[in-house]
Amino acid sequence: MKKSPIMVSAALAVGLSLVLAGCTPPEQHSYSTKEVSDGTTSFTVVTNPADGKTLSMSKDSGFELIEKTGGENTFAFKDMNGNEKLDGWEDWRKTPAERAADLAPELTTEQIAGLMLFSPSERAPGDGLTDVQRKYLGDDNLRLILSAGTNAVEPNVQWSNEVQAFVESQASAETPYIPANFSTDPRSDATGGYSGSATADISQWPGNLGLAATFDPEVTRKFAELAGQEYRALGITNILGPQVDVASDPRWSRNNGTFGEDPELSAAMTAAYVEGFQTSTDGDGVPISTTIKHFAGDAAGEGGRVSYYDSGKFAVFPGNSYEQHLKPFLGSLDAMGAMVTYSIVVDGTGAPLHGDELVGGAFSKELIDILRVENDYQGVIMTDWGVTAGEGDDWYTNWGTEDLTVEERHFRVLAAGNDMFGGNTEVAPVLAAHDLWQKAFEAGDLEIDADARFVQSAERILNVIFSSGLYENPFLDLEESKKVAGSKDKFAAGFEAQKHSVVVLKNKEEAIAYGSQLKDWSDKTVYIPSTYGYARAGILGRGEERETTLSLDAEAAEEYFAKVVTDTEVLDDKGNVVGFTAPDLSDVDLVLVGMENPDTEFAGYNSETGEYLPISLQYRPYTADSDSVRKASIAGNVLPDGSKENRSYYGKTAKTINEGDLDALERAVAAVRDSGADIPVITAMKAQRPLVPSEFEAASDAIVVGFDISDAALIEVALGLHDGPSGRLPMTFPANMKTVEASLEDVSGDTEPYVDSAGNAYEFGFGLDADGKPIK
């Protein structure tokens, strides 16, 4: 281009001024490159000057660098489609939304269909890139992978890098590059109770209900910030959380994943969680995109049953409190994703609460429109797992669409307003849904054509990927990841948060001493009784073998005591454990009894007999025969004769699979009584939801409650080794099962609280401080 006289004159003037001032032109700064290997995959890291983004790409990617000069800096950009120019979507200076809008129309229909897929759980990162993964990444164009394995750094880093190198190899001028996006369920709770992957490789924190027990959103925000750094170090850039269902029914088995029964507290904790995970700490993009779930009302399953199965597919709202269940969602619309409930949401008569169809949330346009239309939500909306599956599949949740084909269900999901299919890896049904959409459009039933609808979802999904920084820097430096994941500061912060979350419900005669009364236990002996129970076989059953174990972790206790003693097993002729004998307590200084909240056998439905059963919050068998129990259920399937199924469990009896926990407490109390010694008995409750304390409160000198925390944290608080208790109940502990039956599934806090022997009501927000007074 020929320079104008004005441009030439300006250049001469600048040069003359520099000479006259005795100055030299500013030094130019350029990018640098280095080669990195994790032992399996080699890649190039490009470090840009100033505030330029860090880039990485595999050595075999075929990507070239494009240089652009800005002021005194020369920046590098990746040419990811080989056209030797910087396209809008390749320019990291643009916003993620601008880049997504530029790229989405360039993708093929097959690529967009692949973007809508979300893999099932991948549990073995040590296996590396498998043939199954190659197929769904290559043939089906899937890009969102659910990482559900160990937290060990090395196998996760190597697997992530291998996958990223593979998807780079799939890019061409005709099929633009899309990096892989790894997702996870929450995996940082100290027990692994939600994810099953808690290990010593990353910091350990309270579960969501435990975070709520702190009543401090800053604790939750700090957790999310630090856990987000660790997840990124493992290659994870998305979390299927937080679970923000308002825990309105104490029986619901997924209460541990929530922030409790109070909509306002839940909304505050949700906002802190989303902010902590999604706020960049290094300037290179959003560390972890979040997915608020399950929109909305999943916690109101009739009878406390869960929507994983047909027996719990109806969420009932007899208390007309649906607006309360929306609050945590509508308070965090900056979350980059939202997952829709499995449940068919109905009113107090069993009629649909949204629209006129009895269908699960993923198929309800009226439900999703609350987010997308009424609240202008622009994030990615996705289904939960199994909603498009059907008869012949291992598991399905296609509630209300059982008579449709798999392809028709995919179409209905898109028509309702979803962008992604949870757990689906096959692209063919999505492409079939594209054809069905186009036919409906051409028939005048839809306002936009299929290509335009697919581009809408592609933009939303790509916006998340661009926001994560994956287009610039998808590869992980193994040595750097090892420094981040499980660092001492994160472990310390997580353990402190665990202790901060513990609720002290009772402390009779200072059985737990604090401050100047603090005892040294290092030369003392503790008795921890043994317990027995049955393993959970899925949600609706139990295992056949009875398991025995100490009620608290012996290794954890040995860190605080000189000696740990427990029961002697009583065996029958076949060597089976049939009971326990308590030890001699002559030298015992303290009794610590670990208990888990009652866990009901069959969880509300016996799939073998077809019987609906109560879900109990007490250890001993419970028969649902009070006048508070419904004799006719609110909701039920339509039977072949046109009548409605009755799911009432009136008169039925529920048993727990861990009744042995109460036996352990009673055995310990009897042993103390028989010894004649004044030995305090402290109950350490490991809770995941509320329970009825009447069976154990009077027998306990002190009670501490933790929600998905380690035994070590519970023990420290039980011994008074914490600064002082500060946790408070995030859910009411009810007085009895009658008040539970009288409560409405959708209404929070409508159970009568248990009142203990000291006159304290175990209601929402209750907890004792170091002086034994309720925390204000």
**Angstrom distance (rounded) from CA 570 to CA 567:** 9
Whether the bond between 29 and the residue before it is cis, its omega within 30 degrees of 0, is no
CA 79 to chain centre: 36
Query: CA 546, 550, 553, 555 torsion: positive or negative?
Result: negative
Q: How far apart are CA 555 and CA 521, in angstroms?
A: 15
Task: Please report, as a single letter, which amino acid is at residue 289.
Answer: S
Identify which of 569, 582, 55, 484 has the alpha carbon closest to the alpha carbon of residue 230.
484
Cβ neighbourhood burial of 95 (10 Å; 0-12, 13-18, 19+): exposed
CA-CA distances (angstroms) from residue 21 to 13, 15, 18? 12, 10, 5
Which residue shows structure tokens 């009670």? 703
Instruction: Check if the beta carbon of residue 701 is closer than 8 Å to that of residue 476.
Output: no
- The whole-angstrom separation of Cα 353 and Cα 317 is 8
Alpha-helical (H) ranges within 279-321 are none
Angle 7-13-15 (CA atoms, 0-180°, nearest 5)? 105
Question: Helix (H, G, I), strand (E, B), or coil: what is residue 160?
Answer: helix
Identify the residue whose tokens are 């028509």.
415
User: In terms of residues, how long is the chain?
Assistant: 776
Token readout for 301 is: 């399953």
On whether the CB atoms of residues 382 and 419 are closer than 8 A, the answer is: yes
**DSSP state letter for 302:** G
What 3-state class would DSSP assign to 519? coil
State whether the Cα torsion 141-143-144-149 is positive or negative: positive
3-state secondary structure (DSSP) of residue 214: coil
Max distance between CA atoms of the chain, in angstroms, equals 107
- Catalytic option among 384, 553, 567, 708: 384
Give residue for tokens 């406390």: 304
Is the preceding peptide bond at 354 cis, omega within 30 degrees of 0? no
Q: What is the 3-state secondary structure (H, E, C) of 339-362?
A: EECCCEEEECCCCECCCCCCCCHH
Give the list of residues 6+ apart from residue 450 with CB closer than 8 angstroms, or none: 434, 435, 437, 438, 441
- Residue 168's Cβ-side half-sphere holds a number of Cα atoms within 13 Å equal to 27
- Our answer to whether residue 216 is catalytic in this structure is no
Catalytic residue chosen out of the listed positions 38, 185, 201, 262:
262
771 is catalytic: no
Integer Cα distance of 501 and 210 in angstroms = 5
Q: Is 33 helix (H, G, I), strand (E, B) or coil?
A: strand
User: How remote is the C-alpha of 717 from its chain's centroid?
Assistant: 26
C-alpha to C-alpha distance for 392 and 557, rounded to whole angstroms? 49
* Core vs surface per residue 495-520: b (16+ CB within 10 A) or e: bbbbbbbbbbbbbbeebbebeeeeee
- Return the active site residues: 262, 384
